[in-house]
């Protein structure tokens, strides 16, 4: 049996901390969706894909490879997709 737990909330509200603690306690896989989204955005910027070009986005999503480590780190083409990639 498997299940998915999603925690929603504003930036900086502690979602990552809670998911890390709960995941460790219950031995659940934790996927940092924020890092995943940043990897996709990074690829779109590198490939010069317009946010409104749905066909190119769909094709890119079919071929993108995002790697996640056990320490909740996400990588795209060996570049870490983390908080530092956020634009302010």
For residues 37 and 25, membership in a common domain is answered with no
Q: Among the listed ranges 1-5, 42-46, 63-67, which one has the minimum average pLDDT value?
A: 1-5
Q: pTM to 2 decimals?
A: 0.63
Is the same domain home to 24 and 55?
A: no
| Two structure tokens written together for 5 | 């737990």
Residue 85 scores a pLDDT above 50: no
Q: What distance in Å separates the CA atoms of residue 8 and residue 88, rounded to the nearest whole number? A: 21
How confident is the model at residue 19, as a pLDDT? 84
* Res 77: pLDDT: 56
Domain that holds residue 63: 32-85
Do 52 and 76 have their domain in common? Answer: yes
pLDDT digits (tens, 9 = 90+) for 19-60: 888 888 988 877 777 778 888 998 899 899 999 999 999 999
Q: Residue 56 to residues 11, 13, 40, 61: CA-CA distances in angstroms? A: 29, 34, 12, 9
């Amino acid at each position: 049996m498997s299940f998915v737990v999603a925690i929603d909330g504003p930036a900086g509200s502690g979602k990552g901390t809670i998911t890390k603690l709960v995941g460790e306690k219950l031995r659940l896989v934790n996927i940092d969706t924020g890092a995943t989204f940043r990897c996709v955005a990074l690829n779109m910027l590198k490939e010069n894909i317009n946010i409104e070009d749905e066909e190119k986005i769909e094709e890119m999503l079919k071929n993108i490879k995002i790697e996640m480590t056990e320490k909740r780190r996400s990588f795209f083409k060996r570049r870490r997709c983390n908080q530092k990639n956020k634009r302010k």
